[in-house]
Amino acid sequence: MDSAITPNTKLHFFMQHTIHWKCDSGHEFTSDPAHFHPALRYTPGDIQRFLSLQSVSKKIILNDYLHYVIPRDPGNGPTSAPGLPPVHLTPSKSCPYSGCRSTASQITCIYTSWPKFLHISPPKEALSNFDGVSIHMSHTLKIPSVFGSNASDTPCVTYELVGRSVFQNGHFTSDLLIPQNGKLSTCHYNDMRGGKLEVHGDETVIDNDPIVGVEDFYAYVRTSDIASVRSDISAIKQAYFDLETAWSKYFRPVYDLTREGAPTVPKSDPSFQRANPHYQLTNNHSMYVNT
């Protein structure tokens, strides 16, 4: 979809994952990013793991969620292309050193380069199977430069929310955070209405659904000089194991809470259905795994 965009331009707008390898003989090498990623997308697995292990409520704070996002490779295909394969499951590469007879190489770490301008997809589609769950688009983001680190002295990649694009009546408009009289305000721009900024309110107004139309994507600008996050393979494997564990608890998982912070038997579980024989499970509330 973006073959016309040059690699130099992509460096500013797209996420990249660079894999570091080590062969059995100890040679270290990297493989360049196979794909660039124009927007960060949510995955149900990451959402389920976050809700099961990190969240205390049904409201996900984007800044917290990003600390646990496993590097994934959505590729450059159409948006309907299936799957977001984790980068650490990339098939083994042969060693490029001349004369090396090693047949397999192992991933040691993945470096993720966060772009100057970050696009994040609206969460509604990813949340369609998570009844009552919402994601708050944090106005500032702090992503530790070492995956999984909670140390306060770990440098962070930081971002600020600058606006979002909105699709309405067949064309795109935008909501922008712009200083007005010394305070950030939510301003609306619509080139079909004279191209003048309309002040809609303070900076919290952008947290609401658009007055007209639907949100298309959110735009953040990086405010840190550092831009890369190192994910050691052991930390990613542990996070992925946690994800699969959280996922496997639900044969047909529906994340449900009867009270804040307490995961319960999903309504799709046979034991729930035996106890509640008249409960009708609708398609909107079912999620299928391994099918």
Contacts with Zn ion by CB under 5 A lie at 23, 25, 27, 95, 97, 100, 102
Gyration radius of the chain over CA positions: 21
Residue closer to Zn ion by CB (options 27, 67) is 27
Residue closer to Zn ion by CB (options 31, 76) is 31
Residue closer to Zn ion by CB (options 23, 133) is 23
Least distance (Å) between residue 31 CB and Zn ion: 14
Residue closer to Zn ion by CB (options 57, 94) is 94
Residue closer to Zn ion by CB (options 90, 174) is 90
Report how far residue 242's alpha carbon sits from residue 229's, in angstroms, rounded to the nearest whole number: 20
Phi and psi torsions of 171, nearest 5° = -150, 170
Least distance (Å) between residue 103 CB and Zn ion: 10
Least distance (Å) between residue 208 CB and Zn ion: 55
Least distance (Å) between residue 102 CB and Zn ion: 4
Report how far residue 277's alpha carbon sits from residue 185's, in angstroms, rounded to the nearest whole number: 51
Residue reference for tokens 């809470």? 257
Number of Cβ within 10 Å of residue 236's Cβ equals: 21
Least distance (Å) between residue 90 CB and Zn ion: 17
Between the CA of residue 128 and those of 39, 86, 123, 287, what are the distances in Å? 19, 22, 9, 9
Helices assigned H by DSSP within the chain: 7-13, 44-53, 62-66, 233-248, 270-275
